Amino acid sequence: MSSSTDAALRRQGPGGLGVPDRLSPQRGGLLQRRRSRLLGLLLLLVLVVGAATLSIAVGSRSIGLGAVWQALTAPGVPTEETVIIRELRVPRTALGLMVGLSLGIAGALAQGHTRNPLGDPGLLGVTAGASLGVVLAIHLLGVGTPGGYVWFAFAGALLGTVLVFSLGSAGRGGATPVTLALAGAALSALFYALVRAVLVSDTDSLDAFRFWVVGALAGRGADVAWQVVPFIAAGLVLALVNAPALDLLGLGEDVARGLGQRVWLARLVGLAAVTLLCGAATAACGPIAFVGLVVPHVVRAFTGPAHRWLIPCSGLLGAALLLVADVIGRVVVRPGELQVGIVLALIGAPFFIALIRRRRLATT
Amino acid sequence: MTLDAATPTLPRTGTVRLAAESVSLAYDDRVVVRDLDLQLTDGSFTAIVGPNGCGKSTLLRALGRLLRPVSGQVLLDGRAIARTPTREVARVLGLLPQTPVAPEGLTVGDLVARGRHPHQSWLRQWSRDDEAAVAEALTWTDMADLANRPVDELSGGQRQRAWISMALAQGTDLLLLDEPTTYLDLSHQIDVLELVARLHAERGRTVVVVLHDLNLAARYAQRLVAMDDGALVTSGTPEEVLTERLLADVFDLEARIVPDPVTGTPMVVPVRRLR
């Protein structure tokens, strides 16, 4: 197994080395699926690179491509333009990449664990917990910068998932898709009620909170990006480790157990990954909906239900989608900006409806 | 070849592979099975029969380590199954729940490949053994031509074959099946049971199957276990178990027992429901 792609290919079933020739029709079909997966992966990589390029090159202030290139490559004396590129657009693009990647992967994990096509990290209490954390930080401690919110949002997200997981696994059968979704819905409702209670009584908090809650990449410096890097990296590793277990859980918990999978362990790893990824993304940028919901559905159309493909591809598409939405937000209301959370909802909602109408929605 | 490479091919008849020792099973506070003893010997083909709600599926879940007894224990090869690591159990004992559902778009080949999970680890990923086991399981169950078809697009009978193929690729000595013929028409019921019977006869698998159809149970199983109201009523050969008296007691059914014109096994001809 020379490379990980190679190994992944071999793991996907019959049709690789050592298969008798009588199975050749089947091998042909598998090759076709492999080709579509590889092609999809390649396309996604191109998309991400393209989106990142756009995100660095396009902004409310027009800077020529030559100047952009120079700012990135030639050290030289800092001009106003090179400062914009280096200290605003590059960190913003890096943050967008990480957050989009996290949200896409967290969505794929959430849908896999809840076996619910409408599964979304928000369904597991992460977003509501983060919102509560930020509101309390503003209201009680007077924290006022995105860099300051991060830790509180993260703590809230952690609290949310821990509560959802312990409530969801309290019953007889342990954490099942249904109990997790129910516990998540109930706790989210409770957390949002608390958030509103604070906001109603405190207009200063409301002012600060409303900029966080729309979800934006703007105004977050390189410090915020660096703060979330370790969490996203850890979440990414856990997500990839969780992929084979998710494939088994997709066959139902009884079958998964019968095949030797410790179900509680798989749930724990998965939820930890969702908390790290979605918690870090939400902490950095505020709640951003639709990426986690839509992206896995689109990706599943060419990867099929195998999570070792679905998870990385969802990450790539999430990153590309978030960056493109952010670029659109910078362009449409020049010289002002539309927050990425709003842009995503505006393009995401019709897209999702179209997806449902074309019945391309594959359930997990 | 590879499927059974790790295990002796000749059944050691008489050895108890799986046993329930005064097992009581409950969901929350509702006791479903009370103080039940059962021994399953190597190479046997056992069918558990009984009326709806008698606890036969619950017993099967406990035998497969899916449900922990509230008292008593299940022994797999003489060892408490509750204290055996899940993966170790999964190399010896395979199980299929009633009407399992595959994720949309999952192909037959991928489903069968997932049966190899207990034999893999982070250090030992997909191997030639796995490859060969999957190819052989597909061929043996006559599913090789359908390997690239999504499981959810298959007919009920083909779908059940795909799941059995997965269980075969798992390569376990013991196989527990919970009503594998549910929702199938008669000819597909026969098809599935013939396949299970071949697994027993040609592959030396020890098979335990929960079945509703008494005539099919009598025809395919060597031993019947009749349950009623969470207790084992009787067990033995189909001739010993399927009596007019038992049908009246356990199933509230007045019936005649006649020899099956094809196999000579007892055949139930219902007359009317009692009470």
Determine the distance from the C-alpha atom of residue A103 to the mean position of all C-alpha atoms in its chain, rounded to a whole number.
Answer: 1
What pLDDT does A220 receive? 78
DSSP secondary structure code for residue A175 in this structure: S
Are the C-beta atoms of A48 and A319 separated by less than 8 Å? yes
Phi and psi at residue B76, to the nearest 5° = -110, 115
Query: Which whole number is the average pLDDT over A110-124?
Result: 80
Mean of pLDDT over chain B: 91
What kind and span of H or E run contains A206?
helix A203-213
pLDDT higher for A68 or B38? B38
pLDDT higher for A97 or A83? A97
Range from A325-329, A351-355, B129-133 carrying the lowest mean pLDDT: A351-355
Q: For residue B23, what are the contacts with CB-CB under 8 A and spacing of at least 6? A: B33, B35, B36, B37, B38, B59, B62, B69, B71, B72, B73, B74
| Per-residue model confidence as pLDDT tens digits over A156-185 | 988 998 898 888 877 766 777 788 888 888
Q: In DSSP terms, which residues pair with B254 in a beta bridge?
A: B272
pLDDT of residue B71 exceeding 70, the answer is yes
pLDDT of residue B7 exceeding 50, the answer is no
pLDDT cut 70: percent of chain A above it: 87
What pLDDT does B196 receive? 95
The pair of structure tokens assigned to B113 is: 């490949």
C-alpha distance from A294 to closest chain B C-alpha (Å)? 17
Nearest CA in chain A to B151: A251
DSSP secondary structure code for residue B103 in this structure: P
Distance CA(A164)–CA(A162), nearest Å, equals: 6
| Per-residue model confidence as pLDDT tens digits over B14-47 | 799 999 999 999 988 899 999 999 999 999 999 9
What pLDDT does A26 receive? 47
Q: Which domains does chain B have, with CATH numbers?
A: 2-273 (3.40.50.300)
pLDDT bracket for residue B113 (50, 70, 90): very high
Nearest residue to A115 via CA among A182, A169, A177, A176? A177
Query: Which whole number is the average pLDDT over A128-135?
Result: 90
Q: What ipTM does this complex have?
A: 0.89
pLDDT bracket for residue A22 (50, 70, 90): very low
Number of A:B CB contacts under 8 A? 131
Task: Measure CB to CB from residue B102 to each of A20, A251, A306 and give the nearest one.
Answer: A251
pLDDT of residue A7 exceeding 90, the answer is no
Query: Which whole number is the average pLDDT over A13-38?
Result: 54
Interface of A with B (CB under 8 A): 1, 7, 10-20, 22-23, 25-26, 29-30, 33, 172, 244, 247-248, 250-252, 254-255, 257-262, 300, 304-306, 362-364
Query: Which whole number is the average pLDDT over B214-228?
Result: 96
- Give chain A positions within 8 Å (CB) of B126: 7, 10-12, 16
What pLDDT does B168 receive? 94
Q: How many Cα atoms sit within 13 Å of B139 on the Cβ side?
A: 16
pLDDT bracket for residue B123 (50, 70, 90): low
Alpha helices in chain B (DSSP H): 56-63, 86-92, 108-114, 128-140, 156-170, 186-203, 214-220, 238-241, 244-251
pLDDT of residue A24 exceeding 60, the answer is no
| Per-residue model confidence as pLDDT tens digits over B257-275 | 999 999 999 999 999 998 7
CATH 1.10.3470.10 fits A44-357, yes or no: yes
pLDDT of residue A191 exceeding 60, the answer is yes
Nearest CA in chain B to A300: B105
Task: Measure CB to CB from residue B147 to each of A1, A10, A26 and give the nearest one.
Answer: A26
pLDDT of residue A81 exceeding 70, the answer is yes
- Give chain A positions within 8 Å (CB) of B170: 259
Are the C-beta atoms of A303 and A104 separated by less than 8 Å? no
Q: Do A17 and B128 touch (CB under 8 A)?
A: yes
Give the residue from B61, B76, B107 with the most A CB atoms within 10 Å of its CB, the best one to mutate: B107
Task: Measure CB to CB from residue B135 to each of A7, A20, A247 and give the nearest one.
Answer: A20
Distance CA(A349)–CA(A355), nearest Å, equals: 10
Range from A349-363, B65-79, B258-272 carrying the lowest mean pLDDT: A349-363
pLDDT of residue B72 exceeding 80, the answer is yes
Query: Which whole number is the average pLDDT over B250-254?
Result: 94
Q: Do A29 and B135 touch (CB under 8 A)?
A: no
Are the C-beta atoms of A282 and A144 separated by less than 8 Å? no
Range from A75-89, A197-211, A250-264, B257-271 carrying the lowest mean pLDDT: A75-89
Distance CA(B67)–CA(B56), nearest Å, equals: 13
Task: Measure CB to CB from residue B97 to each of A15, A22, A252 and give the nearest one.
Answer: A252
pLDDT of residue A30 exceeding 90, the answer is no
Nearest residue to B94 via CA among B1, B226, B203? B203
pLDDT cut 90: percent of chain A above it: 33
pLDDT of residue A9 exceeding 50, the answer is no
Query: Which whole number is the average pLDDT over A269-291?
Result: 89
Q: Residue A72 burial (CB < 10 Å; 0-12/13-18/19+)? A: middle
C-alpha distance from A170 to closest chain B C-alpha (Å)? 12
